[in-house]
Amino acid sequence: MTEMQVRQKIVGVMQGWVGRKEANGTHKEIIDIYNAHRPLARGYKVKYTDAWCATTVSAAAIVAGMTDIIPTECGCGAMIELFKRLGCWQENDAYRPLPGDFIFYDWQDSGAGDNLGAPEHVGMVEKVSGNTITVIEGNYSDSVKRRTIKVNGRYIRGYGVPKYGSKAGQESDAVAAVDKLAKLGVINSPEYWKQTVKSGRVKYLDALLVKAAAKITRAGQRSSTPENGIGALVSAGVIDTPDYWLEHYRDDPNLGDLLCALGGAVK
């Protein structure tokens, strides 16, 4: 997987949410994803009536399995501080963003000099064409929708620029994880899972296998059900989006068995 493919993976999550809104309650699933993540930033559970722009981009990071390179937060100012700690904050006026970058706004920007004000809103860059940035934002007019803004335009406070390059090559990492798990006796059909990773038909399987292989040192007694396997993987810190896996483990006929095997082997 190239860096651009990694970027498109998280952008794809945001694209899938376009049209969700407060009016019909479809924004609630985004907030639920955020609230189910552990550790929950500052221990604060976001309410359905709260502003949810930072919550949306954080939830996208959670679903995409990228919370190791993207800080989760429900507040724009706090998220910027976390990006700074990671060395991933960019406010050079000459910066031209890339898909997957986090764009922060200050609506009090006068347009004169450097904008150093407090941020009130955040979205994710979908694409840049010529001098125009297309952004997908949560809580934009109480919905998930697109905005266009000029490169170095007024109101841009700066960018969170995750180190997506560190995730490039994760497909090969997942293949290596399969080999390790097969050698330990946890996985009995390594070629099947290698092909499944490469096909991309099970979303986030690569991240699951890499994280599981980092924790597992020997085979164990299988979990009795996929649900129990997911619970064990959550406790071990391998899975931080249990609701997603509980909903989607039937997407592949063998995924439930894999979750049982992995769950029984984590310590």
Number of H helices, E strands in the chain: 10, 6
Residue 1 has pLDDT above 70, yes or no: no
Whether 71 contacts 79, CB under 8 Å: yes
Place of tokens 């989760």: 72
Whether 144 contacts 14, CB under 8 Å: yes
- The pLDDT mean for the chain works out to 92
Task: Give tens-digit pLDDT for 107-163.
Answer: 998 777 777 788 999 999 999 999 999 999 999 999 999 999 999 999 999 999 999
Mean pLDDT of 261-265: 96
Query: Distance between CA atoms of 177 and 225, rounded to whole angstroms?
Result: 23
Task: Give tens-digit pLDDT for 158-215.
Answer: 999 999 988 876 667 888 999 999 999 999 899 999 888 877 778 788 889 999 999 9
Among 21-25, 62-66, 98-102, 263-267, the range scoring the smallest mean pLDDT is: 62-66
Total-model pTM: 0.69
Residue 60 has pLDDT above 70, yes or no: yes
SS3 36: helix
Mean pLDDT of 92-109: 93
Q: For the chain, what is the radius of gyration of the CA atoms?
A: 20
Mean pLDDT of 5-32: 95
What is the number of other CB atoms lying within 10 angstroms of the CB of residue 48? Answer: 11
**Would you state the structure tokens that stand for residue 77, as one six-digit string?**
């100012």
Residue 217 has pLDDT above 70, yes or no: yes
Q: State percent of the chain over pLDDT 90.
A: 74
Q: What is the pLDDT of residue 178?
A: 95
- Which residues, 6 or more positions from 33, have their beta carbon under 8 angstroms from its beta carbon? 59, 62, 63, 241, 243, 244
Q: What is the pLDDT of residue 169?
A: 66
